[in-house]
Structures are given as structure tokens and as C-alpha cells.
Amino acid sequence: MLKGKKIIVGITGSIAAYKAAYLCRLLIKKGAEVQVVITPTGKEFITPVTLSALTQKPVLGEFFTANDGIWHSHVDLGLWADLMMIAPATASTIGKMANGIADNLLITTYLSMKAPIFIAPAMDLDMYAHPSTRANLEKLESYGNRIIEPTEGMLASRLEGKGRMEEPDKIVECIEAFFKRQNQLSQKKVLITAGPTYEKLDPIRYIGNYSSGKMGFALAESCAGRGAEVFLIAGPVQLKIHHPNIRRIDVNSADEMMDETLRIFPHADAGILCAAVADYKPANYSAEKLKRTDESLKINLIPNPDIAAKLGEIKRADQILAGFALETENEMQNALGKLQKKRLDFIVVNSLRDPGAGFQTDTNKIRILTAKGENTDFPLKPKCEVAEDIVDVLYGFWK
């Protein structure tokens, strides 16, 4: 998988720098070409001689070599690499990356990088939990950088907690998974619906639901990350997209979502219907604010269009259609019913009975049923990893 891949390993001043030597060795054993870029403090923790002996390349740490003035071009490094992996990344380096403080070669290389960037933080638990570090990491994620979460355990401070850099073999697994998926969906167009719909009652009120849109947005990032052109039709949510290949179309109501979906679906190779579409809308919209009275209020609701069923009806044989079923009981039976009724190729089932699954959470626990009768159960995972599992299944239809 890594044969011929050009990887920059960025090393910063953390005790976990010793693990970077092992990381370089594993990458090289897998066939990658590794160039180390190190910060001045990184050199205090691991000697460049170890790293140059492993990588068979000079370790770069200065803007130019003192004795002959040879300039180390961070611009060339940015063009050369297929991937940059900063491991370990200290709170200080993360802060500089997030804010463009380019006072060493690692940061200038980071700022010039054309290739995907991975960051494996390593620090004390309180530093990792500090709002400043959290905000910086969030900012880096919003730039499209991928964070390899640290693990929990004994830290250099002898304290126990989250802040240990992920182990080198796990980091290599992430890099391999990334390259495996990188161009899988190039040439494919994927339509995704996400979030809730709001059905207007009067100028200030609506009927809605608790959907956060996180699952649909994670699916959009995953598909775009694999090279697809993504059309994300989003109900009202407080989320941002990161990948430039995602075209976001904001809608409010189920009718608007239906119109946009019908416009785009004929041009798409697949549709993933993740939105929590309101099943009903008020029969009448009141142009004036509804006034309070002492009587009970009856609102007449009429059914909304079923977007998934409509797409199932018009779907061409070469198109893949996937839906979701969020259930509170009879999960399998209900999901199978939806799979068949809406003519889906596969359905992602989650149950509100599983802790950590469903709306407003950062994690999800899913089962995927296919029209061919396959039934796969997945463990509880962060929504971005769940998205990768779902897109793996989608890709399976085209393999």
C-alpha cells in the first residue's frame, strides 16, 4: 500500500518523539520514502542521527545549512510529499499551525503543504483538555487536517489520562487506510441529504426534530475525501463543511429538500438519504403570528413527500440508493420494511436503545442491511469512523 509513497514525518518536542523513530522504520518497511522535518525542541528529544540512519536522508530542521548556506525549501517539500504526518505534535506546534506562526521549518513546511496532513497529538492530559488546545485542534480540522486522537494511559508526568500519542503501528494503519480509500470514488457523484427539516407554522414557529446533521456531514466528508463530487442537501444545522469537493445546498422544509434532491439525483451515481425528514407539515401556514387563546389549539397536519421512496421509484439500475432507519423498537423488522418499500440498496439501522447512538451524539452504533440479504453489525464509534464504514459498503457496490 505504501510502496513509493513520499511521506514527511514532522517531529516536535515531546517525549513521544522516541516513538517517531519506530514510525519511520515501519513506514520504510512498508515501502514508503520518508523525509523527517524536526523542530529545534524535537532535536532535544531524539537525535537526528538516529532518524537519518533510519530514513537514509538528512534530517531537516533549519531553514538553511549553516556551513554552506544551502537553503531547505519548504515549498519544494510541500510539492514533493504525498502525505505529511506530524507525530508527535505538541500543544505549542498545534497552536502555531492553527495560527500560522511560521518560526521553524516544520511550520513553514506545514503551511506550504499540498498533500493531506495528519496530526498525532502528544501532551499532558490537562494541556490536551485545555480550551485553547481544543480550539486549535478544531481549527486544524476545519482546514481539512486529520487528527489521530491520542489514547489514554500513563503519561510522562506520571499522571493517567488522555494525551498519549497513538502507537506507531496504529498510525501506519491510518495512513494505509487513507491511501487505500484516497481515489476510490473519483469520477463518482454522490448526493447526500442531512439534518432535520423545519415545517413552518407561522412566521416565527416551525415543527422540527433533534437531528444535528453530524452523520450526514461526516458522510459528505468521507465521500469527498475519497475523490467523489458531493452534493450535500442540508436542512437547518449549525455545521460547517471542510472539503472543497462538497457542494452544499441549504434547505428548510421537506418540500424544498424534495425539489433539490429531484433536481440532482438524475446526475448522481448514488444517493445517501440521511436526513430526518419531517413526516408531516401543517396543512395551513398562517401569515400572521398565531395568537394565544384559552382554548386548546388543533393543528391539522398533512403528510410530506417521502423523498427516499420517490428516489427508489425513479432510480436507474446503475444508481445506488441508501437510507437510514432510526428506530426505538422492532429495529430489524422496521428497517427491512423500509429497505423494501423504498427500494433501497442498503439501509443503515440505528437504535435509540443503544447508548451513544442516534441524534445529537458524536458517536453512533449501526447495523447495515443490504437488499442482497447481508447483515453487518458495527461497534460504537465516532460518527466520522461510522461514515467510513458506510462509504466502504457503498464502494463495495462498485468494486
**Residues at the interface with ligand CTP (CB under 6 A):** 193, 254, 273, 275, 277, 279, 304, 306-308, 323-326, 338, 342
- Nearer to ligand CTP by Cβ, of 57 and 341: the residue is 341
* Smallest separation (angstroms) from ligand CTP to the CB of 307: 3
The catalytic position among 183, 209, 284, 330 is 209
- Nearer to ligand CTP by Cβ, of 164 and 338: the residue is 338
- Nearer to ligand CTP by Cβ, of 199 and 229: the residue is 199
* Smallest separation (angstroms) from ligand CTP to the CB of 185: 20
Q: What are phi and psi of 48, to 5 degrees?
A: -60, -25
Q: Provide the b/e sequence for 152-187 (b: ≥16 CB within 10 Å).
A: eeebeeeeebbbbbbebeebbeebbebbebeebbee
Query: 303 by DSSP, 3-state: which?
Result: strand
DSSP 8-state assignment for residue 90: -
Q: What are phi and psi of 182, to 5 degrees?
A: -50, -55
Amino acid at 329: E
Distance CA 50, CA 46 (A): 8
In the chain, how many H helices and how many E strands? 14, 21
Residue nearest to ligand CTP (CB): 323
* Smallest separation (angstroms) from ligand CTP to the CB of 263: 15
104 is catalytic: no
Distance CA 33, CA 44 (A): 24
Distance CA 339, CA 117 (A): 38
Distance CA 251, CA 237 (A): 10
Cell 506507531 -> residue: 168
Element (H, E) at 107: helix 105-112
* Smallest separation (angstroms) from ligand CTP to the CB of 306: 4
- Nearer to ligand CTP by Cβ, of 203 and 266: the residue is 266
- Nearer to ligand CTP by Cβ, of 19 and 338: the residue is 338
* Smallest separation (angstroms) from ligand CTP to the CB of 136: 35
* Smallest separation (angstroms) from ligand CTP to the CB of 281: 10
- Nearer to ligand CTP by Cβ, of 275 and 386: the residue is 275
Nearest-CA neighbor of 388 among 147, 168, 265, 215? Answer: 215
Residues involved in catalysis: 209
